[in-house]
Amino acid sequence: MKKKIISAVAAALVLALAVPAFPAFADTETETETETKEAFVYEHDPMENPLAAADIIVNPEAVYGYSPNPESKRLGTYASFDWTDRETVEKGRQERIAYHESMAELYRMIEEMLGEAKNVEEIARAVSQRRNEIRLESYKDDPEGLKAVKESNLETYGNEFGPTADSLYEKYGSWQTVLEKALSSNPGMDACLGLYDDYYDTYDLAEEAGKSAKETENLYTVVRGDSLWKIAQRYYGSGEKWVQIYERNRDIIDNPSLIYAGQKLVIPAAA
């Protein structure tokens, strides 16, 4: 009888060793999840984008394979977050999506103005103004918050609606930079949050605006002693083409024989 009991116990032990227990199955699941996480890749490599590469590092442990570079001036403060934690990253991802949705109107505006061959100054002015309006509109259900924001804008920029395009140009000295600041686009953060492919087409909008301006028009500030003839000679190699400049700037030039230092003239591409 004892032999039968011993045999039964031995058989049970053999079965226990041969068939993995539930914890072993759970470990297998975890390994699969890890493999899936590590297998995540973007269609467009963020590291090929200089703006993104400057702010992020490859991190195989991170949910989307990238995390902020601690030495980045723009994203360094976010490096301490746990980019391996799906819950934390998902929260940031949803906030980032909401931000991009608020910017969608500006993206469309830029694309439309590029299609109309508008120069970078015109685009930057329009986008900066609309960006200010969008910020204030976000407080439509919060009158106290709106009041506080307007007071802050007035104190900071001297304008309750926010910084003007002219003040931004004076600060940065470049209309393309003014446009980039209005968009506040950061492809590195998108890469860390799994959104790089989703918004890939928006990253070069400011660059395209600058490129379009260089290919079509220039902006020139009149200096003492200038004339449309002299300016045409400088840009076209022929003073006789001054009419092109005059026609493009009729809104600010009343008399083609009288232009003034400080006037900003748009110089169209040579016909």
Q: Beta-carbon neighbour count of residue 261 at 10 Å?
A: 10
> Assign residue 119 a region: left if phi > 0, alpha if psi is -120 to 50, beta otherwise?
beta
DSSP 3-state assignment of 217? Answer: strand
Beta strands in the chain, from DSSP E residues, in sequence order: 56-58, 66-68, 217-221, 264-268
For the chain, 271 residues long, give each residue's pLDDT as a single digit of tens: 434 444 444 444 333 333 343 333 334 444 444 444 456 899 999 999 988 999 999 999 999 999 999 999 889 999 999 999 999 999 999 988 988 888 889 989 988 988 888 888 888 899 999 989 888 887 888 888 889 888 988 888 888 888 888 888 888 877 878 888 888 778 999 999 999 999 998 887 777 776 655 555 677 899 999 999 999 988 888 899 999 899 888 888 989 999 999 999 988 876 6
List of residues 6+ apart from 247 with CB closer than 8 A? none
Cα atoms in the 13 Å half-sphere on the side-chain side of 207: 8
List of residues 6+ apart from 140 with CB closer than 8 A? 146
